[in-house]
Amino acid sequence: MEKIFGLHAVTAALRSGRECQRLWLQDNRRDTRLNEIETRAQKLGVDVERVARQELDRIAADTHHQGAVGEFGAPVGPDNLEDLLDTLTEPAFLLVLDGVQDPHNLGACLRTADAAGVHAVIAPKDRACGVTPTVRKVAAGAAETVPFFAVTNIARTLKDLKDRGVWLAGTAGEADQTIYGLDLTGAIAIVMGAEGEGLRRLTRESCDWLAKLPMSGQVESLNVSVAAGICLFEAVRQRTASSGRK
């Protein structure tokens, strides 16, 4: 079982169909958001317990829980990346994070990936952040809607994606072309590097293209979640235009 805290994260977990064994809500809060969570949980037959703020602090290890903490079973969704790719009825749209270690950055990337319609986020198991309770809270529910796959060998996974016809667009500050010069309309994976270090050598060599974001000011780089948002929504713009949708 996994503890999930925060209004958005708990609501999304309940909606996702994950088994919820217990739900703790702050006893002196009766606002609309918390009442909606309680009503949804009761309809699902979940054991809801109203407790003092101090008890919630203890259960959630003093995190900013917003008055809601739930104990949930395993996520509902495809067991592996291959199964997900086999079910797609449109060109794959993926985000690869090569070693992002800050849970706030990972949560923000998941939230942006959800908004952009990304089919899955991929990251290495080692030397990278996984989906923790903090990540789920920052993601504001997106951790329940965007499949996240932590893979043992990122270079092998990238090769498998290429074998499936997925193009890999990596980001690097020293690249000659910008992200706006790439064709991102087909099966594509946007590959982002870690905070400060960028793409690792094998990951960089696996990419079909390297591109940069045009930087006009004095700063040399952007936060990885901000950069991911820019790249993903450039792909959204191109894919929307190519399909004729508005």
Give start and end residues of each alpha helix (H) in the chain: 7-16, 32-43, 53-59, 81-87, 103-116, 133-139, 142-145, 154-163, 201-206, 224-243
What is the distance between the terminal CA atoms of the chain, rounded to a whole angstrom? 42
CATH, residue 48: 3.30.1330.30
Residues 100 and 203 in one domain: yes
| C-alpha distances in Å from residue 145, one per residue of 8, 117, 118, 120, 154 | 12, 10, 10, 9, 22
What contacts 17, CB < 8 A, 6 or more positions away?
A: 76
Eight-state DSSP code of residue 200: -
Residue where one domain finishes, among candidates 43, 72, 101: 72
Owning domain of residue 93? 81-243
Residue 59 has which token pair? 């259960």
- At position 45, the amino acid (one-letter code) is G
What's the pLDDT at 198? 85
Q: What are the residue ranges in the chain where pLDDT is below 50?
A: none
Q: Is the domain of 108 the same as that of 47?
A: no
CATH number of the domain that residue 146 is part of? 3.40.1280.10
Q: According to the model, what pLDDT value does residue 166 have?
A: 97
Residue type, 144: E
Query: Distance (Å, rounded) from C-alpha 217 to C-alpha 200?
Result: 26
Strands 188-193 and 93-98: parallel
Give the count of domains, the chain. Answer: 2
Q: What is the pLDDT of residue 4?
A: 87
Amino acid at residue number 237: R
Among the candidates 20, 43, 72, a domain finishes at 72
Select from 16, 48, 72 the last residue of a domain. Answer: 72
- Do 22 and 93 belong together in one domain? no
Residues 109 and 210 occupy one common structural domain = yes
Q: Tens digit of pLDDT for each residue in 180-234?
A: 999 999 999 999 998 777 899 999 999 999 999 988 776 777 889 999 999 999 9
Residue 134, pLDDT score: 87
